[in-house]
Amino acid sequence: MATRALPSILVVDDEPHSVAAMRMALEDDFVVLEASNAEEAWALMEEHWVQVVVSDQRMPGKSGIELLTEIRDRWPETVRIIVTGYTETNDMIDAINEAGIYQFITKPWHPEQLLMAIRNAARLFELARDHERMTLEMRYLGNTASAKLEDRRRLLQEGLGFDKVLRGPNSSLNAVIALARQYASFDVPVLITGEAGTGKTDLARAMHYGSLRSDRPFFELNCAGLTDEVLAAELFGIRRGAVSGVQSTKVGILQKADRGTVFLNGVDTLSPAMQIAMLRIVREGAFQPIGSHEQMTSGARLIAGAHRDLRDAVADGKFRGDLFYALSVTELNMPPLRGRPGDIARLAERFLHDAAEEHGKPVRGLSDAALEFLENYDWPGNLPELRNEVLRMLIIAQDVTLGPELISRHILQAEPGDAGSDRRAMDLGTADGTLKDRVEMMEMRILRETMTRLKWNKSRAASELGLSRVGLRAKLDRYGIEPSATFAEED
């Protein structure tokens, strides 16, 4: 029978034998994390979702009370217990009370005494979390706590929600966003399909922050290229001693994201064995950590991403039909960038200003001529390719306004045409037409690219191309190639 994921307990003590004794007393009921000082404890708190911290009082560096006081300020919901082997003064007892410590245990302690105290503390943590969840669900009742929570949700949605997915007023992405907004508030699996680089992760993150789970964690994992062993370790976790070289328990994403959202991209690459494991997760929320004989369950919401249409993979026998239908209760398709020509200018400007801020280089924007070339290209690499091109332009730019002469040659040579058509120069070898037609098409693209890159300096262009000025002028007239308003013709 499936059980809930084990609570995580952090034990802090500079004496290894004390840590080992606590671990033996607790590891059957809890995931036990270990630290020998305050610094190590803080690092583990940053990485894991810890319900209870048990700390020795006297340690090198910060004392237990100092550590637990700092943990209270950062993670107030974590229950804190102090262990001491000394007769404490009234001042010490007052310090314990002021630190908000749930309980203090004196040495030597009995294993049953310690286990009972930790169980009670974990139960207290769960009761506090349940109260928080109920407060969240009652946020519309108008009390002060609900109003504060709604403000936090609004800030998250503005910073990481649907508004972050850039698109124009007539974008083909708008219909996808409208459906995603509806799906976000329903706790059902979602399948997001689309080419690599189309923004599936951004959409999944927006759905998380547009849902009632927005105050819980969001995790993203790309399955493509991962072996079954690595993928299982990341998703399910590893029990201590189950794998050579792993000296402590590794908590998997499904346990970390309990009540949150997990986005698994590249599910179309899953092996048959991982597809079976994934089916159990989708249907029951059940999984089994590596090295554990106990089955756990996760309350995380699952959103899956695939780089191709899984219906074809099901038809070819490469993907389980039952898993496909379990994942695709709701399905969204992200259009490629070539299908969003009206969004390219907006995206390019955002990428440019983000890169300029990151690298500390002043910039005003992209010229109209540069945007025209960018909009006329198919972007087979989608958003990452556009982001990289804009960054490259920024790096080599000498002016605050970036012109088309900075654009890569293969983009400048792309033939202008309707959105979605194949205009890449490298595909000319497979184009239709006579040899003369294909040669002329290549010649026209090279002329346009050269004139743009050299800012319409005809003397330099003629020299580079091995033409006379008269011959260059004749070819420009023949193909109807003229300078944009950005450039004035130069001799």
Closest CA to 215 of 297, 136, 271: 136
Q: Do 115 and 135 form a contact (C-beta atoms < 8 A)?
A: no
Q: Do 312 and 173 form a contact (C-beta atoms < 8 A)?
A: no
Distance CA 218, CA 262 (A): 6
List the single range of 213-217, 267-271, 324-328, 417-421 with lowest mean pLDDT. Answer: 417-421
Q: Do 338 and 298 form a contact (C-beta atoms < 8 A)?
A: no
Give the pLDDT score at 420: 36
Q: How many CB atoms lie within 10 A of CB 33?
A: 22
Most confident region among 303-307, 408-412, 454-458 by mean pLDDT: 303-307
The rounded percent of the chain whose pLDDT value lies above 70 is 79
Q: What is the pLDDT of residues 311-325, one digit of tens each?
A: 999 999 999 999 999
Confidence of residue 242 (pLDDT cuts 50, 70, 90): low
Confidence of residue 251 (pLDDT cuts 50, 70, 90): confident
- Using the predicted structure, report yes or no on whether residue 426 has a pLDDT greater than 60: no
CA distances for 383 relative to 251, 357, 472, angstroms = 33, 19, 36
Distance CA 277, CA 393 (A): 45
Annotated domain spans of the chain: 3-135, 153-335, 338-479
Give the pLDDT score at 124: 84
Burial label, 25 (beta-carbon count in 10 A; 0-12, 13-18, 19+): buried
CATH 1.10.8.60 fits 338-479, yes or no: yes
The rounded percent of the chain whose pLDDT value lies above 90 is 29
Closest CA to 123 of 258, 7, 3: 7
For the chain, the residue count is 491
Distance CA 320, CA 209 (A): 30
Residue 410 has, within 13 A of its CA and on its CB side, a CA count of: 11
Q: What is the pLDDT of residues 47-66, one digit of tens each?
A: 888 889 999 888 888 888 88
pTM above 0.75, yes or no: no
Distance CA 357, CA 351 (A): 10
- The residue that leads in pLDDT, 315 or 463, is 315
The vertex-395 CA angle with 392 and 396, nearest 5°, equals 90
Closest CA to 342 of 375, 309, 312: 375
- Which spans in 192-260 are helix H? 200-209, 228-236, 253-256
Confidence of residue 301 (pLDDT cuts 50, 70, 90): very high
Q: DSSP letter at 408?
A: -
Give the pLDDT score at 464: 72
Confidence of residue 10 (pLDDT cuts 50, 70, 90): very high
Q: Do 183 and 194 form a contact (C-beta atoms < 8 A)?
A: no
Tokens of residue 441, six digits: 């098409």
Q: Do 370 and 349 form a contact (C-beta atoms < 8 A)?
A: no
CATH architecture for the domain at 153-335: 3-Layer(aba) Sandwich (3.40)
Same fold, 3-135 and 153-335: yes
List the single range of 3-12, 284-293, 344-353 with lowest mean pLDDT. Answer: 3-12
CATH 3.40.50.2300 fits 3-135, yes or no: yes
Q: Which amino acid is at 264?
A: L
List the single range of 43-57, 98-112, 263-277 with lowest mean pLDDT. Answer: 98-112
Distance CA 405, CA 394 (A): 12
